[in-house]
Every structure is written in structure tokens, then in C-alpha cells.
């Protein structure tokens, strides 16, 4: 128990230090403050070999062996300079992030620019579950990476890991970058009820959106206990075909009001149902107005109107 408490305390202190040292930014130029450097796995073996050679040289008083050890040490110092310099000076900038649906991926675009005429090699990017390596970076490069967005709302990406082991692989320089450019995640569409119920019928091979009503007979379905007996098909019951309920519908007008208060269920379920109808009405070329609590979107149609409606559903608290 005490070990878990101390571990959580250490993790919290480390996160606080990391947030102070590497705060969220729109763009960042990597300097000595952002770049860390240490031995890689191969570098650890290299250092162990140096230590073994040094001990052997001391033990046998062999100047040639000691000279080899000092030569390897000088190589390590020179490589340290080049590895750090390979990452230092890079400019990383968040360009934009595409809006998306919960449970899918947002396309997050970043631009990486080398410093002046400097050429960077073997730059490794690790973001979420994606790994990308840039063999040679000699000009500003636009990179698109897909990040998973599990929940609705404002999505801020996790920290991007940028690292390099160039030139010899015995030292690793790395940094973490957290961008403050958000992506807006709309609710995952869930089919719901609009003005009672909804059906889709075919009229001369053209899809017509319909809602529950009283004017036109739509179809028959099995009787559910508790329903009104006014729509029971007594003819089917008399013929021994079971108790069936008649369902009627009205054609949906070319304009629709999508109202949060008219939906059923919890907050997120209502938003998901609205997202379903936003996409459905857009596909049916039906104009609609959207109202969510104190916020509203004026009537319109088309893909741009759909995008604005989904953004509203993503931003609502």
C-alpha cells in the first residue's frame, strides 16, 4: 500500500514537472531546454565495453588498451554533440485537426521545419499508437497522423514523442511535444425517434422520409402489451393470424426541427440521436434547424450545414 502511494505521488510530481517544463503549445523550436539525451540500449553496451577495457588497461598497466578506452570515450563525446544537434533547432507546428466522430480518428497535421540549411536525419515520431520515421529532413515537411478519439467533445492530443539515435545509435536524444490545437469530436450517431417514430418507404423508386402520424397506413407489426387498442387489426385477429397493430405515418416535410428537448434518454444519448438525424436529413436533402438547450443553428441544408451542426453537438457541454 505504501509503495503504491509513493508511486502515485512520484508520478504526479513527474507530470507536474513535465507540464511546467513542456507546456502545451501551438508551435515550438527545440532547444536545450526541450531536448533530453542519454545512452540507448546499444549505448549501454558500449559504455560497459569501455568500462571493461579501462579495467583491463589498469589491471595490466597497458597503455595501448587505455588509449583504446580514451579513444572510445572521445567518440562518445563527439557523437553526443551530433545526436543533440540533429534534433536541436527543429520547429514543430500544429497546422490543424479535422473534426470527426467519437470512436473514429482525427487527421492531425503538423509541420516540421529544420533550422536554416541544417539537415536532420532519422527523425522518429511516436504518437498514440503510430510510429513514423523521416529518413532525411532537409525542408519543411507536412505530416498527417491519425489519432483515435474515444469520446465526444474537445480533443487535445497526447504528447508527441520526437527522437533520434543518429549517427551511431549509441545515444538517444528525445523530446515530448504537446500541442494545444484541438479537434472537435461529434457524438457517435445512434438511431433514435423523431416526432414519435420514423419509417422509410419507397414511392416510385424514390426514398421518402416519413414520421409517425394518422393519415396513411404504413405497415403491420406485432401487438405489444400496453398499446392502445384503437389501432388493433381485428380482421387479422378474427382470421386467427394473431393480434396485430396498424401503423400509420405522414410524409415528412422538407423542413425539420431537431430539438434536444424532444429526444429521449440521457444527455449523451440525445446528442447521439441528434447526430444521427443530422446526417440522415442531410442525405435526404431535407432542410433542418437544430436546437440544443440555449444554443441553436438556423435552418439550412447541405454538407456545410451538417458540419456546422455536428460541431455544435461536439461543443455543447
Do you know the residue count of the chain?
A: 317
Instruction: Kindly tell me if the per-residue pLDDT of 202 is higher than 50.
Output: no
Percent of the chain topping pLDDT 90: 50
Q: What is the DSSP string of 191-202?
A: ---SSS-EEEEE
Residue 120 half-sphere exposure toward CB, CA atoms < 13 A = 29
Q: Strand pairing of 206-222 and 198-203?
A: antiparallel
Q: Among candidates 180, 185, 155, 211, which has minimal Cα distance to 271?
A: 185
| Res 196 pLDDT > 80 | no
Q: Are 222 and 242 in contact (CB under 8 A)?
A: yes
Three-state DSSP class for 167? coil
CA distance 143 to 94: 10
What is the structure's pLDDT at 201? 42
pLDDT at 106 over 90: yes
Which of 39-48, 91-100, 219-228 shows the lowest per-residue confidence on average (mean pLDDT)? 219-228
Q: Three-class SS of residue 316?
A: coil
Residue 198 has pLDDT above 60, yes or no: no
DSSP string, 57-78: HHHHT-HHHHHHHHHHHHHHHH
Task: Output the CA–CA distances (angstroms, integers) from residue 153 to 40, 108, 305, 307, in the order listed.
Answer: 39, 16, 19, 14
The 10s digit of each residue's pLDDT in 3-51 is: 666 777 777 777 777 777 778 889 999 998 889 999 999 999 999 999 9
Residue 52 host element (H or E): helix 41-60
Euclidean distance between CA atoms 151 and 277, whole angstroms: 19
> How far does Cα 173 stand from its chain's mean position?
27
> What per-residue confidence (pLDDT) applies to 118?
87
Radius of gyration, alpha carbons of the chain: 32
- Given this model, what pLDDT does residue 272 score? 92
Query: 123 and 112 in contact (C-beta within 8 Å)?
Result: yes
Say what percent of the chain tops pLDDT 70: 80
Element (H, E) at 49: helix 41-60
Predicted structure pTM score? 0.71
Nearest to 317 by CA among 199, 196, 154, 177: 154
Give the span between the Cα atoms of 204 and 281, in whole angstroms. 20
Amino acid at each position: 500500500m505504501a509503495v503504491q502511494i509513493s508511486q502515485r505521488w512520484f508520478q504526479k510530481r513527474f507530470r507536474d514537472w513535465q507540464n511546467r517544463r513542456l507546456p502545451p503549445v501551438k508551435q515550438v523550436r527545440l532547444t536545450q531546454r526541450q531536448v533530453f539525451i542519454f545512452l540507448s540500449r546499444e549505448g549501454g553496451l558500449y559504455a560497459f565495453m569501455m568500462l571493461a577495457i579501462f579495467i583491463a588497461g589498469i589491471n595490466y598497466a597497458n597503455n595501448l588498451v587505455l588509449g583504446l578506452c580514451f579513444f572510445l570515450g572521445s567518440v562518445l563525446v563527439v557523437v553526443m554533440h551530433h545526436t543533440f544537434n540533429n534534433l536541436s533547432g527543429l520547429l514543430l507546428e500544429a497546422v490543424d485537426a479535422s473534426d470527426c466522430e467519437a470512436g473514429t480518428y482525427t487527421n492531425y497535421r503538423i509541420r516540421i521545419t529544420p533550422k536554416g540549411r541544417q539537415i536532420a536525419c532519422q527523425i522518429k515520431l511516436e504518437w498514440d499508437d503510430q510510429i513514423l520515421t523521416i529518413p532525411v529532413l532537409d525542408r519543411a515537411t507536412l505530416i498527417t497522423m491519425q489519432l483515435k478519439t474515444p469520446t465526444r467533445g474537445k480533443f487535445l492530443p497526447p504528447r508527441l514523442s520526437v527522437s533520434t539515435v543518429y549517427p551511431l545509435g549509441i545515444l538517444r536524444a528525445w523530446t515530448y511535444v504537446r500541442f494545444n490545437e484541438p479537434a472537435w469530436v461529434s457524438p457517435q450517431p445512434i438511431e433514435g425517434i423523431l416526432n414519435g417514430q420514423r419509417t422509410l418507404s419507397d414511392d416510385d423508386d424514390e426514398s421518402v422520409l416519413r414520421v409517425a402520424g394518422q393519415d396513411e397506413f404504413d405497415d403491420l407489426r406485432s401487438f405489444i402489451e400496453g398499446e392502445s387498442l384503437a389501432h388493433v387489426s381485428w380482421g387479422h385477429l378474427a382470421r386467427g393470424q394473431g393480434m396485430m397493430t396498424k401503423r400509420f405515418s405522414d410524409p415528412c416535410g422538407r423542413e425539420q426541427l431537431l430539438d434536444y428537448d424532444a429526444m429521449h434518454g440521457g444527455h449523451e444519448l440525445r446528442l447521439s440521436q441528434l447526430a444521427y438525424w443530422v446526417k440522415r436529413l442531410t442525405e435526404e436533402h431535407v432542410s433542418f434547424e437544430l436546437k440544443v438547450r440555449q444554443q441553436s443553428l438556423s435552418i439550412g441544408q447541405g454538407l456545410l450545414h451538417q458540419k456546422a451542426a455536428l460541431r455544435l453537438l461536439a461543443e455543447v457541454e
